[in-house]
């Protein structure tokens, strides 16, 4: 049976507000996934080897909204897609293309940050803004955020305005994650993890998830995942490529969810 899962990478960090470097992430995550120090199995025993997805490769981006067209093109004939960032700004154009293909979706967004700014440093497409744009365009019937631990007054107002369901890190319990009823898009910002577990990010925000907690969250998701991204890994800030290995592990667990029949 031909694969229905597509993989794409974006060599893009121009919308990063603090540090560049995330554009270097996709090849590093691929190398960690292929590393002979590990294997291709997910923890539930599924062989998530490279034959189960179609790898479209990594893309250099000239214009921000090219990301939407590239995603639409890569989705052609497929129904599930995983994107490797790049900074978190890629999620908005990717989700636009996924919504165009699949219709109403729900989003689980895992991040230290809400990424709900109306505009940041004068740019409405900054990596601090993608989920404000998603909600303005009605691309998701539900947005649930977990891991968040940096909300300011503006972002709380934005969350209220858009009806975002935020389970802040300080209040988090695994059982507080709702179950989803529509096809799910999963957006994983690696800075949701505590920097002790994933130092290779531009915004190291203490007090985050352990790797085990994040794996448990992904493994506990019920229902079909149709799209996912892993963003904000910054190889310049990594130590001994340990964060790349975390990204590869998360990638395998998401693949396992996507490869399991709905």
Q: Binder to Mn ion among 56, 99, 113, 237 (CB under 5 A)?
A: 113
Q: Give min distance, CB of 181 to Mn ion, in A.
A: 25
Q: Which stretch binds Mn ion (CB under 5 A): 25-33, 34-42, 68-76, 107-115?
A: 107-115
Contact 166, 147 (CB under 8 A): no
Q: Which stretch binds Mn ion (CB under 5 A): 50-58, 76-84, 105-113, 243-251?
A: 105-113
Cα separation values, 82 from 10, 46, 116, 200, 252, Å: 11, 18, 22, 20, 11
Count the residues of the shown chain that bind Mn ion, applying the rule CB under 5 A. Answer: 7
Our CB check for Mn ion shows the closer of 116 and 258 to be 116
101 φ, ψ to 5°?
Answer: -80, -40
Q: Which stretch binds Mn ion (CB under 5 A): 8-16, 77-85, 113-121, 157-165?
A: 113-121
Name the residue with tokens 């995330």: 22
Q: Binder to Mn ion among 13, 28, 58, 115 (CB under 5 A)?
A: 115
Q: Give min distance, CB of 1 to Mn ion, in A.
A: 35
The two three-digit tokens of residue 33, written as one number: 């996934």
Contact 75, 3 (CB under 8 A): no
Q: What is the dihedral of CA 186, 191, 195, 200, to 10 degrees?
A: 100
For residues 166 to 195, the per-residue mask of contacts with Mn ion, x marking binding by CB under 5 A and - elsewhere, is: -----------------------x-x----
Our CB check for Mn ion shows the closer of 3 and 211 to be 211
Is residue 112 at the binding interface for Mn ion, with CB under 5 A as the rule? yes
CA nearest neighbour of 188 among 100, 34, 83: 83
Rg, the chain, Cα only:
16
Q: How far apart are CA 205 and CA 88, in angstroms?
A: 16
Q: Give min distance, CB of 255 to Mn ion, in A.
A: 21
> Which residues here bind Mn ion, judged by CB under 5 A?
88, 111-113, 115, 189, 191
């Amino acid at each position: 049976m031909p694969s229905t899962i597509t993989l794409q990478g974006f060599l893009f960090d121009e919308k990063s507000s603090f540090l560049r470097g995330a554009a270097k992430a996709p090849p590093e995550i691929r190398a960690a996934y292929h590393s002979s120090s590990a294997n291709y199995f997910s923890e539930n025993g599924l062989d998530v080897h490279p034959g189960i997805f179609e790898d479209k490769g990594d893309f250099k981006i000239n214009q921000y909204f090219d990301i939407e067209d590239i995603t639409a093109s890569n989705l052609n004939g497929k129904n599930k897609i995983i994107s490797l960032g790049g900074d978190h700004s890629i999620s908005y154009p990717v989700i636009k293309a996924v919504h165009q293909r699949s219709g109403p979706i729900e989003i689980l967004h895992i991040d230290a940050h809400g990424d709900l700014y109306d505009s940041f440093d004068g740019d409405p497409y900054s990596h601090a803004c993608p989920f404000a744009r998603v909600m303005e365009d009605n691309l998701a019937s539900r947005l649930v955020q977990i891991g968040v631990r940096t909300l300011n007054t503006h972002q709380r107002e934005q969350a209220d305005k858009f009806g975002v369901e935020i389970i802040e890190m300080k209040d988090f319990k695994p059982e507080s994650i709702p179950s989803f009823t529509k096809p799910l898009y999963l957006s994983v910002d690696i800075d949701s993890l505590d920097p002790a577990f994933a130092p290779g990010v531009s915004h190291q925000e203490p007090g985050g998830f352990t790797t085990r907690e994040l794996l448990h969250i992904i493994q506990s998701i019920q229902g079909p995942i149709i799209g996912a991204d892993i963003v904000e890994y910054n190889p310049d800030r990594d130590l001994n490529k340990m964060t790349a290995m975390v990204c590869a592990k998360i990638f395998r667990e998401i693949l396992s969810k996507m490869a399991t029949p709905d």
